[in-house]
């Protein structure tokens, strides 16, 4: 019987030839997640990239994640299917403004969310992800003032959780999570009265107030899978539905459209496609190129974060 060769077959073959690993964020298309060696959130993928001992890391996520992989494993070639896979949080936080703040406020500890450029990471004292942000802030001496950047909603959530008053928060936002309107969550709860609400901390405070659970992407998946409830309203990027349906096929998951694209997909994450993944494995570009100096400086706050339990 004749079988038709697919683009997935070509990618898997090329992956072997290149001694490559494919890492995929939960917000990637299902077909990319299916092919990946590891699927995870920013923290999980950073740890995986650090441990990899092959030649090429094909990072299916956004650019700042690939930069983090390069910093943690600089001898590897790190490629991304689409160079335009950016992030509104990175764009909201230019390094010049961070340097200016540091010059004027040298007493502040700079706590940066991983969703920042490598240059901003290099100016930071410690990094955090949505999973460990509370623990990271708690690891800083109580009397030291903090600048938390760049996500305003995550910053406010962390400030509330830690009770930290001496914490300034940058005014950046995620175009996906920050534009989920509370009224649509109310409508979804009316339509699905038995559903529990799980929300990412990048969502606005009025959405978080309605949540039964607040956590990172992986924490949301884990919580939904292990709850006895059968229905969930999931306030994050809808790419997580792939893992949710795989891990809990009997449960129902509802996603709420945001004001920005009237969907719950990240336009940056969705720039990566299977044909672009194949092309980047063939051509070994776009490649993350970083000067040794910036790698050295950015690694320090990332490693500090990885030490925080």
* Contact residues: ligand SF4, CB under 6 A: 27, 62, 87-89, 115, 174-176, 237, 266, 268-269
CB of 178 to ligand SF4, least distance (A): 8
- Encode 88-107: b = buried (16+ Cβ within 10 Å), e = exposed: bbbebbeeeebeebbeeeee
CA neighbours within 13 Å on the CB side: how many for 143? 0
Q: Distance between CA atoms of 292 and 278, rounded to whole angstroms?
A: 28
Asked whether the beta carbons of 117 and 95 are under 8 A apart, the reply is: yes
The kind and range of the H/E element at 135 are helix 133-138
The kind and range of the H/E element at 148 are strand 146-149
Asked whether the beta carbons of 251 and 231 are under 8 A apart, the reply is: yes
Pick 89 or 140: Cβ nearer ligand SF4? 89
Asked whether the beta carbons of 176 and 191 are under 8 A apart, the reply is: no
Pick 118 or 175: Cβ nearer ligand SF4? 175
CB of 136 to ligand SF4, least distance (A): 17
Pick 41 or 123: Cβ nearer ligand SF4? 41
CB of 115 to ligand SF4, least distance (A): 5
CB of 65 to ligand SF4, least distance (A): 8
Dihedral class, residue 285 (left if φ above 0, else alpha if ψ from -120 to 50, else beta): beta
257, burial (CB in 10 Å: exposed 0-12, middle 13-18, buried 19+) = middle
CB of 257 to ligand SF4, least distance (A): 14
Pick 263 or 300: Cβ nearer ligand SF4? 263
Pick 108 or 268: Cβ nearer ligand SF4? 268
CB of 110 to ligand SF4, least distance (A): 19
Pick 176 or 188: Cβ nearer ligand SF4? 176
Structure tokens at 9: 């077959």
CB of 56 to ligand SF4, least distance (A): 22
Pick 61 or 301: Cβ nearer ligand SF4? 61
Structure tokens at 309: 């339990």
């Amino acid at each position: 019987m004749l079988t038709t060769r697919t683009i997935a077959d070509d990618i898997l073959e090329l992956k072997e030839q290149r001694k490559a690993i494919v890492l995929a964020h939960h917000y990637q298309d299902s077909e990319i997640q299916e092919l990946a060696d590891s699927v995870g959130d920013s923290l999980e993928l950073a740890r995986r990239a650090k441990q990899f001992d092959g030649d090429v890391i094909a990072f299916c996520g956004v650019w700042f994640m690939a930069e983090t992989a390069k910093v943690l494993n600089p001898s590897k070639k790190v490629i991304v299917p689409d160079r335009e896979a950016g992030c509104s949080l990175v764009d909201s936080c230019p390094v010049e403004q961070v340097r200016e703040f540091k010059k004027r406020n040298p007493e502040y500890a700079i706590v940066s969310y991983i969703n920042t450029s490598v240059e901003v990471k290099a100016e930071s004292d410690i990094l955090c992800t949505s999973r460990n942000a509370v623990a990271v802030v708690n690891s800083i001496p109580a009397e030291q003032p903090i600048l938390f950047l760049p996500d305003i909603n995550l910053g406010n959530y962390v400030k509330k959780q830690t009770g930290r008053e001496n914490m300034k928060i940058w005014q950046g936002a995620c175009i996906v999570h920050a534009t989920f309107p509370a009224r649509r969550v109310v409508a979804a709860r009316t339509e699905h009265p038995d559903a529990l609400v799980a929300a990412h901390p990048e969502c606005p405070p009025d959405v978080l107030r309605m949540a039964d659970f607040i956590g990172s992407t992986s924490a949301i998946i884990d919580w939904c899978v292990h709850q006895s409830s059968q229905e969930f309203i999931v306030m994050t990027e809808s790419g997580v539905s792939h893992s949710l349906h795989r891990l809990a096929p009997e449960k129902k998951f509802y996603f709420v459209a945001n004001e920005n694209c009237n969907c719950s997909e990240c336009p940056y994450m969705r720039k990566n496609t299977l044909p672009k993944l194949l092309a980047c494995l063939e051509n070994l570009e776009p490649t993350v190129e970083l000067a040794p100096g910036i790698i050295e400086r950015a690694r320090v706050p990332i490693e500090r974060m990885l030490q925080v339990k």
